[in-house]
Structure 1
Amino acid sequence: MHRTHSQRIVAVLLAVLCAGCASTPDAPWQSLADTTQWRNVGASTLDARWQVRDGELALTSAGGGDIISVGTYGDFELEVEWRLPAGGNSGLFYRAPDAQPVWARAVEYQLLDDREAEDRIVPSHRAGAVYDLVAPAQDVLRPIQAYNHARIVACGPRVEHWLNGVRVAAYDAESEDWSRRVAASKFAGQPEFAKARRGHLGLQDHGNAVYLRNMRIRALGRDCKPASL
C-alpha cells in the first residue's frame, strides 16, 4: 500500500508514542516449596520446625516463629493449597516488611478451621477473610481433613482473595471504604499497616501446625487489572 508523506509521518509519531507504553507480560510461575526461599522474620535462617517434606511446607510444632519469603513481590498472583488441624489458626501475609510484628504492617489472608477455631465467631476472622477488615462473602471451606485452595491477586492498591475457586473478598487500599474499615479495626493504631506496595510473603506461627503445598507465585505485568470490586 502506498503511503503519502503525511501518513508516513503520522505512523512514525504513533510508533514513537507507543514504544514506551507496551504492556509488560506476566512472569513465569515460581514454586515456593523450598526451605531456601524462606527465613524467620529478622533472621537469615529458617527455624528447623518449619520443614519441607514431599513438596509440602509445614510448621511441624509451635515455636517456629513467623517466617517470610526471601524474595519480595509487588503486583502478583499467588496460589497455595493449605490445611490445618482441628481448631487450627494461621495466616498468610503479603507485601510485608521484614519487621516484627508482621501483623501490624501487612495484610493477612486468614487461614482458619471455621468449624472449631475460636476466631470463627468474628466474620472477618474466618477462612479467606482480609483479616479483621473484610469478611468472606460465603462459606466454601472444605472438611478439615481436606486441602483448601487459596488464591491472591494483588494489582496496585486492589487485591482479591479467592477460596476454592470463589472470590470471597476484595478491597481497594486507596478507597474511602478501606480507610473506614482500617479505622474501625485492630490496625487503627498501626501507622505502617498496609502502606507497602511491595514486600515479602509471610506465614504465621499461631501455636499450631499448618501445612501448605503446591505454593507458587508469579509477578503480574504492569497492565494487570483485577476484576471490579
Structure 2
Amino acid sequence: MKKLVLISCLTALTFSCKDKATQETKEKEITAENTIKEVPTKNEWTVLFDGSNLDNLKLYGNDNAIENWKIEGDALVFHPPTNRPKDTHYNLVSKKEYTNFVLSIDWKISEGGNSGIFWGIKDDGTYGQPYETGLEVQVLDNQKHPDAKNGTDRQAGALYDLVAPSKDATKPVGEWNTTVITINHNTNKGSSVLNGVTVAEFPLEGEEWNSLLENSKFNGWDGFAKYKTGKIGVQDHGDVVSYRNIKIKELN
C-alpha cells in the first residue's frame, strides 16, 4: 500500500514538474515574442528612397514641394530646368540628420554629367549650398567631363578635391554604379567604395585631415566639414542624373 502511495506521489510530482516547465517555456516564448516586437534591432538599414515615394527627402533650404526630381520606375531622376531662375538650385537632402553611418546608393550619370553625394550638411538657412558644409563623394562621367582631367581628386568616387580615387572603377555612362560611403567619427575613419572597390579612405579629423584641407579649395571655408551630424544629400549640378536604392545604416 505504501509503495502504491509513493508511486502515485511521484507520478503527480512528475506531471506537476512538466506542467511547470511547459508553463515556463510558454512564458519565455511570449517574453521573447514581445521583446522582438518591442525592442528594435540595431544597425538595420533605413530606406531613404526605394522608388515608391519621396517622404524621407526634401529640397535643401526649402520645405515646399520637391521640384525637377521625378520618380521614374524605381529611380529618382533629376531633370535640370531649361529656364532656371537666378541663384536657384534643386539639391535634395534627407529630412533626418546622421552622424556615424554606412550609406549605399546607386547612381547613373548622363553623358558628360556631374553630380555628387553629400553628408554632414547643415540645412538651417545659414548656408546657400550643401557643399558649403557637407563633404562630397564625386559622381561623374570620367570619360567626358572636364573635371576628370582637372586633377584625379575630382573623378568619380573621390572625396571631392581632397582624396583621389585609387582607380577608375566606374561603369560606362548609361549603366548603374553603386557607391557605399562609411563615416565613423568614433574610429576617425571614412571610406568610399565604388562598385565593390575601395577607392578612397580618409580621416575625419586630426593632423592628416588638416593637411588635406589646407591643400584643397575648401581651405578657409568657415562651415566646411564642421558638422559631424548633418543631412545626407544629392547634388543638382545642372546635369541629368539618376539615383536609386538609397539606404542608410546608422553605426553605434
TM-score range, shorter chain: 0.7 to 0.9
What SS class does the counterpart of residue 181 from structure 1 fall into? Answer: helix
Which residues in structure 2 correspond to 1:8-47 (within 5 Å)? Answer: 26-33=42-49, 34-47=53-66
When the two structures are superposed, what TM-score results if normalisation uses the length of structure 1? 0.82
- Matching of residues 132-211 of structure 1 within 5 Å: 132-156=161-185, 157-211=188-242
The percent of aligned pairs where both chains have the same amino acid is 31
Which one of 67, 77, 80 corresponds to residue 58 of structure 1?
77
Structure 1 position 88 matched with structure 2 position 113: yes
Q: Displacement, 1:61?
A: 2.4
Equivalents in 2 of 1:117, 1:180: separation in Å?
Answer: 27
- What amino acid does structure 1 have at the position aligned with 2:155? R
- The Cα of 1:176 is off from its aligned counterpart by 1.3
- Tell me which protein shows more helix as a share of its residues: 2
Structure 1: gaps of 5 or more residues: 1-24, 223-229
C-alpha distance in 2 between matches for 1:143 and 1:46: 33
Count of equivalent residues: 198
Partner-residue secondary structure (3-state), 1:127: coil
Residues of 2 paired with 1:36 and 1:135: CA distance? Answer: 34
CA contact (8 A) 1:73 1:95 kept: yes
Provide the aligned C-alpha RMSD in A.
1.6
8 Å contact kept, 1:109–1:161 = yes
What is the CA-CA distance between 1:45 and the residue it aligns to? 2.4
SS class of match (1:72): strand
Which residue of 2 is the match for residue 104 of structure 1?
Answer: 132
Residue 20 of structure 2 corresponds to which residue in structure 1?
A: none
Kept in 2: contact 1:96–1:102 (CA 8 A): yes
Over residues 90-144 of structure 1, what are the superposed CA-to-partner deviations in whole Å (9 max), with x where a residue is unaligned? 0010011103221121100100000000110120000000000000011111111
Closer, same or farther: CA 160–26 of 1 in aligned 2, 3 Å: farther
Separation of aligned partners in 1, 2:118 and 2:128: 12
Deviations 1:61-104 (A, max 9, x none): 24551121111111111111101111000001001110322112
The answer to whether 1:68 aligns with 2:97 is no
Deviation at 1:27, TM superposition (A): 2.6
Write the deviation string for residues 12-63 of structure 1: whole angstroms up to 9, x where unpaired. Answer: xxxxxxxxxxxxx743211122312111111112432112222211112245
CA distance in 2 between counterparts of 1:73 and 1:104 reads: 17
Segments of structure 2 that go 5 or more residues without pairing to the other structure are 1-40
Q: Using the alignment, how far apart are the partners of 1:69 and 1:217 within structure 2?
A: 11
Give secondary structure in 2 for the equivalent of 1:208.
coil
Q: How far apart are the structure 2 equivalents of 1:30 and 1:106?
A: 21
Rg comparison, structure with higher value: 2
Alpha-carbon distance between aligned partners in 1 of 2:236 and 2:66, rounded to the nearest angstrom: 11
**1:120 aligns to what SS in structure 2?**
helix
